[in-house]
Amino acid sequence: MTATTAPTTPAPVLPPLRIGKHVVESPVVLAPMAGITNRAFRRLCREYGAAGLEAGGASGATSLYVAEMVTSRALVERTPETMRLISHDPQEQPRSVQLYSVDPATAGLAARMLVTEDRADHIDLNFGCPVPKVTRKGGGSALPWKTDLFRGIVRAVVREAAPYDVPVTVKMRIGIDADHVTYLDAGRIAEAEGVSAVALHGRTAAQSYSGTADWEAIARLKEAVTTVPVLGNGDIWSAEDALEMVRRTGCDGVVVGRGCLGRPWLFTDLAAAFAGSDYRVEPGLREVTSVLRRHAEYLVDFYDGDELRGCRDIRKHIAWYLKGFPAGSTVRNQLALVDSLAALDDLIETMDLDAPWPGEPAEGPRGRAGSPRVVALPENWLLSRELDDAQRAQVAQAELSVSGG
């Protein structure tokens, strides 16, 4: 009698990611991106993440998909667009919301609203935004320089969320620039204040998205923060990049932002890779345009049936979806002006839908990298790590001047 060997299930690369009470089978987080990670895009990413778990022979919650940033002040004031941005699909679990704040009291009120009204299962705090209109007021990646202010915001949100068993996480950058590094102090403070994980984008605010992410900083943060998961972010364009980041840094999971622009199937690749499978998605143009069309449809639903608004929103995604494919400039330009689902269908029909996955031309960086710059900051911000009276007054006005939720 000939012995046979039963097929073996691949060994996972990492254990499931634990964020407080939430167990996420694939240790991957969708980074909150302004104007991108609304309910429509998150739905696409979830669909592909589930397919990746299945391909890898795993089951359970896929990844953690975080909604785009909203300001605490706008949330407390219940502005209509902010309420739209924190909306989730009924099947979306856990529901993640990212808060931006420069004021502990307002941050606490926003967190209280989210947890008492059962609007979120996870709160992420934004201390990584490098946009000048944010840093100029002392917010985003400029804020951790002021250690007491940083501690106060984290403490206020954790205090409100903890009784409801809603975990709080922090996302940050290395620092303001190479001479003003904040991430190790911020990581230790956040850990001491009771956050459930810390995520580090391996760039300074001065770098914006230029140059190369410093993965060694992620490794150093992992050494400094020992009781909660440390997540790495920056330059993950493929599943292989994610595996390499884990190998080089020892991080507990990865945060993916620009790498999934126009490529939600990256979550299939990531889920499969972390489950130990070499399954990867290489869609031809027919499938890619089908995803593009579905994304547009989901956006129309997100905007309560407003087809024009949904189609205007899809325009910025088109170049990302078509990266590397043989779509002429005329078609691309017409797609960038699309104003209805019917017009989108007509334009898609003019393309060579039998074109295969183009390989290398479709891989690599997506989105604008920008260039290094001097960070816009409040006056005398770098003279001390404590707020002076003038800075305290300026920071108090900061949330009023940050639009977009």
Are residue 93 and residue 216 in the same domain, yes or no?
A: yes
For the chain, the average pLDDT equals 92
State residue 1's pLDDT score. Answer: 39
Burial of 315 (0-12, 13-18, 19+ CB in 10 A): middle
- Range(s) of the domain holding residue 320: 285-358
Is 365 within the bounds of a domain? Answer: no
The pair of structure tokens assigned to 21 is 């009470």
- CATH classification at residue 204: 3.20.20.70
Is 59's pLDDT higher than 60?
A: no
Are residue 186 and residue 319 in the same domain, yes or no?
A: no
Q: What is the mean pLDDT of residues 287-311?
A: 97
Is 118 within the bounds of a domain? Answer: yes
Q: Which among 196, 201, 147, 143 is positioned nearest to 169, based on CA atoms?
A: 196
Lowest mean pLDDT among 139-143, 186-190, 384-388, 396-400: 396-400
Is 148 within the bounds of a domain? Answer: yes
116-136 pLDDT, tens digit each: 999 999 999 999 999 999 999
Q: Supply the pTM of this predicted model.
A: 0.93
Give me the catalytic one of 129, 251, 260, 311: 129
Band of residue 405 on the pLDDT scale cut at 50, 70, 90: very low
Is 234's pLDDT higher than 90?
A: yes
Is 2's pLDDT higher than 80?
A: no
Q: Is 129 among the catalytic positions?
A: yes
Are residue 124 and residue 178 in the same domain, yes or no?
A: yes
Is 158 within the bounds of a domain? Answer: yes
- Which segments of 231-336 does DSSP mark as H helices, in order? 239-249, 266-274, 285-302, 307-321, 329-335
Is 54's pLDDT higher than 70?
A: no
Are residue 95 and residue 142 in the same domain, yes or no?
A: yes
CA gap 366, 356 in Å, rounded: 20
Which residue has 């696409």 as its token pair? 44
Ramachandran sector of residue 394 (left: φ over 0; alpha: ψ -120 to 50; beta: rest)? alpha
Is 60's pLDDT higher than 90?
A: no
Are residue 128 and residue 61 in the same domain, yes or no?
A: yes
Are residue 106 and residue 35 in the same domain, yes or no?
A: yes
Are residue 218 and residue 314 in the same domain, yes or no?
A: no
State residue 57's pLDDT score. Answer: 58
Is 304's pLDDT higher than 70?
A: yes
Q: What is the mean pLDDT of residues 273-299?
A: 96
Are residue 274 and residue 293 in the same domain, yes or no?
A: no
Band of residue 6 on the pLDDT scale cut at 50, 70, 90: very low
CA gap 96, 64 in Å, rounded: 8
Is 12 within the bounds of a domain? Answer: no
Are residue 292 and residue 165 in the same domain, yes or no?
A: no
Is 392 within the bounds of a domain? Answer: yes
Are residue 73 and residue 201 in the same domain, yes or no?
A: yes
332-357 pLDDT, tens digit each: 889 889 999 999 999 999 999 999 99
- CATH classification at residue 291: 1.10.1200
Is 382 within the bounds of a domain? Answer: yes
Is 56's pLDDT higher than 80?
A: no
Lowest mean pLDDT among 68-77, 122-131, 227-236, 363-372: 363-372
198-215 pLDDT, tens digit each: 999 999 999 999 999 999
Q: What is the mean pLDDT of residues 263-289?
A: 95
State residue 403's pLDDT score. Answer: 46
State residue 4's pLDDT score. Answer: 44
Are residue 351 and residue 265 in the same domain, yes or no?
A: no
Distance of CA 27 to the CA centre of its chain: 13
State residue 58's pLDDT score. Answer: 54
State residue 110's pLDDT score. Answer: 98
State residue 7's pLDDT score. Answer: 46
State residue 273's pLDDT score. Answer: 94
Dihedral pair phi/psi, residue 402, rounded to 5°: -100, 110
Q: Could you tell me if 299 and 310 are in contact, meaning their C-beta atoms sit under 8 angstroms apart?
A: yes
Is 9 within the bounds of a domain? Answer: no
State residue 9's pLDDT score. Answer: 64
Q: How many distinct structural domains can be found in the chain?
A: 2
Q: What is the mean pLDDT of residues 152-174?
A: 98
Q: Which among 228, 200, 250 is positioned nearest to 14, based on CA atoms?
A: 250
Q: Could you tell me if 141 and 176 are in contact, meaning their C-beta atoms sit under 8 angstroms apart?
A: yes
Q: Are strands 197-201 and 180-181 parallel, antiparallel or unpaired?
A: unpaired
308-326 pLDDT, tens digit each: 999 999 999 999 999 999 8
Q: What is the mean pLDDT of residues 5-19?
A: 76
24-39 pLDDT, tens digit each: 999 999 999 999 999 9
Are residue 337 and residue 395 in the same domain, yes or no?
A: no
Is 10's pLDDT higher than 80?
A: no
Lowest mean pLDDT among 101-115, 273-287, 364-378: 364-378
State residue 331's pLDDT score. Answer: 86
